[in-house]
Amino acid sequence: MSQVFSEETHRNLLAHIPHCTGREVSDWLRTVEEGPALVRFEEKVGWLRQEYDLAYGHAKAIVHEYDLRRAARKLR
């Protein structure tokens, strides 16, 4: 079972991603968009961790943010 982060923790993780990875969050969101067509959340997290050597929390925050933004686009 995956760990659930609070909204505050999610925002803090996102804020630290550029410093920790050297890439902006928008870059990572584009990477997920252009990456393999994985369906499950944990598959995407695992792919980011393996392919880019990201920490679990950072990978999870990126995928969660990607899913939030994708859902928001569908509502428009």
Total domains present in the chain: 1
Tell me if 24 is assigned to some domain: yes
Average pLDDT along the chain: 92
Tell me if 2 is assigned to some domain: no
Residues 35-56 pLDDT 10s: 999 999 999 999 999 999 999 9
Going by C-alpha positions, the residue among 20, 23, 52 that lies closest to residue 36 is: 52
DSSP class of 4: P
pTM above 0.85, yes or no: yes
**Structural domain of 48:** 7-75
